[in-house]
Amino acid sequence: MRNVAKLSDLPDTEPVRVDVDGVPVCLVRLGEQVKAVHDTCSHQQWSLADDGMVWGNGVECSLHGSTFDLDSGEPASLPANQPIPTFAVQIDGDEVNVDVSAATNDAPFPDH
């Protein structure tokens, strides 16, 4: 687990990109919970945090509109048809910790 952010610094329902040991991670705060997924869209490698929109438990890629579930990493809509890696999150007080050593959903990491 790496400390990646302060909960109080994260805007609610707005994706934020952080770099964790060289892995781009998209953090999404949902109230007192934080979800963490790989920031790279599985369609054409766009950053999900770059103008991405949060809908319920999903984040929508701003380039072509695929929405990924923040727990399963699965795309709910085309054109993406492959999941993105999801990561374990632990909140300790105001500290947000993420483990990028392995995807919790076994999705492959993008090549770049």
Q: What are the residues binding ligand FES (CB under 6 A)? A: 41, 43-44, 46, 61, 63-66, 79-80
Q: In this structure, how many other beta carbons lie within 10 angstroms of the beta carbon of residue 19?
A: 11
In the complex with ligand FES, which residue's Cβ is closer, 45 or 90? 45
**Residue 58, strand partner residues:** 55, 69
For residue 56, what are the CA distances in angstroms to 7, 29, 47, 77, 89? 19, 11, 19, 14, 18
CB of 63 to ligand FES, least distance (A): 4
CB of 30 to ligand FES, least distance (A): 21
In the complex with ligand FES, which residue's Cβ is closer, 17 or 64? 64
